[in-house]
Structure 1
């Protein structure tokens, strides 16, 4: 039995890593790959598998389960999350272990039926229910909409280990590391926030409810379905999730600019410079044509200031800016110190649509918006000075609270 993948006294990691897929959910770039974490708990009298891995990984996954069971039956399969990257091997597990009992909630069963899976035994759990494996007790917490309707978390009472599903997850393959203190921590911080903001960010109020539900239990370790196992930074990652789900950004400004021939970006660069002069230390300037939206959204969750600037395209917003605005609306962006500017060569339109986005989002610009026709003039730059000074004041005021 390979102790290097031991998580707890009787718990082992049996996940897989993917370094070949370019996109997560066919949407989000994976420059450093992604890990799919599954776990097996070997109690004195019963055994339980917690989630599986994507379809196509059945062979090595089930071989690993067999190795760890070492001739014992698999008694339970806990389904914290039904999304196919975690339920993809369910059919293979059911075929290999026909006596296994699936554990989930009412919504789990509904999605299982939708996937047309031939079930053996299924046991519908109640929120807070406990199950003894013999010296190891599993407790189940229902945490719906983090980030699907059936999501739940499983807790080992004796050891304080929380199997959290997608909550507290991160992009990136393990690259030899498994626990947070084995990782390049600076790298994992950014990929955790990018995962949260793009995958879970829409469901902040439900994250708050989930955090409240587990706030009274001791958390020695958090085992998510993606990214590192948290054992040395448990309090840190819980505090970050609390902050992200409240959309409380750090003092700083993310700028997303759509420019076709350079003039709009020149204005964006000038505003960025003026923000720095006004004392803003953290500024992220993105060209929407070269920065994938997931990285812009990551910075939107990181900072409290947001500047959107777009050229007019066919009397509307530049398409990639429109896409970004649609993403932000879908994610429910809020609590931003917002500034807007638009441009055009023979007529405007972009600024009007950026203002419409702000109204839909329920975020009012904190400074007067700026519109430019043609190349920037000295008057435009003067207005940029005013915009940057006003925005910087609002952004930096948050650091003093």
Structure 2
């Protein structure tokens, strides 16, 4: 197999899942990687592992470097099965290894795999000597799950960051300077928006911890390893976690008979006339995770829906429930849409926008099919909303 060396005695031993297109509701057109890393020093340490179906590949990669039975430590930075799913196979091959993790990680592993391994519980400040290298542990609770942590290899100055700085993108190359960096930055933004957005304030604290360390390489558990563009991805995480936004409006809608579609297009014209960038997405032909990636850096969101059964269309409702869980920072928003004999969608959308933490402005509802005068109202609505976006960022 292709042996990838990150540094002296440090190897990539993970797996690339080229064909996965849905990562628990997250659209992954470029597939997913499950990154794991092997450190061969006086002691041998495996950092994370891979999703269970790829256990055989993991063992094969390790075996080309060293007998898996010689593994002394298996660091489990995160319990989620895409990072720990091969643990039972690893422990069968390395029965004398200690499983290194947080206290919360221990309870999670025992519940997932119903086995009491030889656990080594670590906390912030703990250090594990491997030989010429030492591992330093940085618990990052709720920077994604309660058990989450990062592990730092001091000799080679590598931060094994688990989900932080990850991207869902597959490549035959393993480093950021070997691929299209613009694509990687986009995928990192999409990953942050869909996975890490709710934890922005905690991520700011985590960046403070990692910023005190000399880092030559960041090795996440998904995507490519950062070695050239570390300043760029750190700067992006600073922006995203602080809620920094651009003068951009994302307009998302769905429609039954086209009236809300007409409204959306005319509203977009108004937003653009105010000098604000706008993007339009119809939910029934767009992917939710890509829309969320666009919302990450946008100052505002406009949500549109026809009324059905006194409420909004299910496609729009699904997006708003998803957004509610992600709790985006520093966003303006409003609802719009057409209705027939009775409304209801407007109220539903505004309630969920508010629940997501969005500062909601008065929306626009039109009965049946908009006439010329009502389309002018849509343009004016977009124009005024665009002006409010510009004013908010001053």
Q: Does the TM-score normalized on the shorter chain lie above 0.5?
A: yes
In 1, Cα distance between the equivalents of 2:264 and 2:68?
64
- C-alpha deviation, 1:8, in angstroms: 1.8
2:10 is aligned with 1:16: no
In 2, Cα distance between the equivalents of 1:181 and 1:116?
38
In 1, Cα distance between the equivalents of 2:175 and 2:391?
37
The superposition leaves residues 283-338 of structure 1 with CA deviations (integer Å, 9 ceiling, x where unpaired) of 22110111121111111113112111111011111111111111111111231122
2:146 is aligned with 1:149: yes
Give SS of 1:256's match: strand
In 2, Cα distance between the equivalents of 1:395 and 1:237?
27
Contact 2:190–2:289 (Cα < 8 Å) also in 1: yes
Corresponding position of 1:289: 284
Give SS of 1:134's match: coil
Corresponding position of 2:57: 60
Map residues 2-401 of structure 1 onto 2, 5 A cutoff: 5-25=4-24, 27-43=25-41, 45-69=42-66, 73-174=70-171, 176-280=172-276, 282-366=277-361, 368-397=362-391, 401=394
Pairwise CA RMSD: 1.8
Q: Check 1:227–1:308 CA distance in 2 against 1; reply closer, same or farther (3 A cut).
A: same
In 1, Cα distance between the equivalents of 2:36 and 2:259?
50
In 2, Cα distance between the equivalents of 1:397 and 1:308?
20
Give SS of 1:245's match: helix
Greater CA deviation, 306-315 or 4-13?
4-13
In 2, Cα distance between the equivalents of 1:348 and 1:381?
19
Give SS of 1:285's match: strand
Contact 1:344–1:373 (Cα < 8 Å) also in 2: yes
In 1, Cα distance between the equivalents of 2:370 and 2:189?
36
Contact 2:354–2:360 (Cα < 8 Å) also in 1: no
Q: Check 1:202–1:191 CA distance in 2 against 1; reply closer, same or farther (3 A cut).
A: same
Contact 2:251–2:278 (Cα < 8 Å) also in 1: yes
In 1, Cα distance between the equivalents of 2:326 and 2:370?
33
In 2, Cα distance between the equivalents of 1:333 and 1:17?
31
List gaps (5 residues or longer) in structure 2: none
In 1, Cα distance between the equivalents of 2:272 and 2:155?
51
In 2, Cα distance between the equivalents of 1:218 and 1:390?
48
- C-alpha deviation, 1:394, in angstroms: 3.0
Structure-2-length-normalised TM-score: 0.95
- C-alpha deviation, 1:16, in angstroms: 0.6
List gaps (5 residues or longer) in structure 1: none
Contact 2:15–2:34 (Cα < 8 Å) also in 1: yes
Q: Any runs of at least 4 consecutive aligned residues in structure 1 with deviations exceeding 3 A, and if so which? A: 396-399
In 1, Cα distance between the equivalents of 2:372 and 2:34?
54
The superposition leaves residues 334-357 of structure 1 with CA deviations (integer Å, 9 ceiling, x where unpaired) of 311223212212221111212222
Contact 1:317–1:349 (Cα < 8 Å) also in 2: yes
- C-alpha deviation, 1:360, in angstroms: 2.2
In 2, Cα distance between the equivalents of 1:57 and 1:296?
30
The superposition leaves residues 11-60 of structure 1 with CA deviations (integer Å, 9 ceiling, x where unpaired) of 111111112223112x12221111111001111x1111000000021212
Give SS of 1:289's match: helix
Structure-1-length-normalised TM-score: 0.94
In 1, Cα distance between the equivalents of 2:367 and 2:358?
25
Give SS of 2:65's match: helix
- C-alpha deviation, 1:377, in angstroms: 2.2
- C-alpha deviation, 1:153, in angstroms: 0.3
Greater CA deviation, 260-269 or 62-71?
62-71
In 1, Cα distance between the equivalents of 2:157 and 2:384?
48
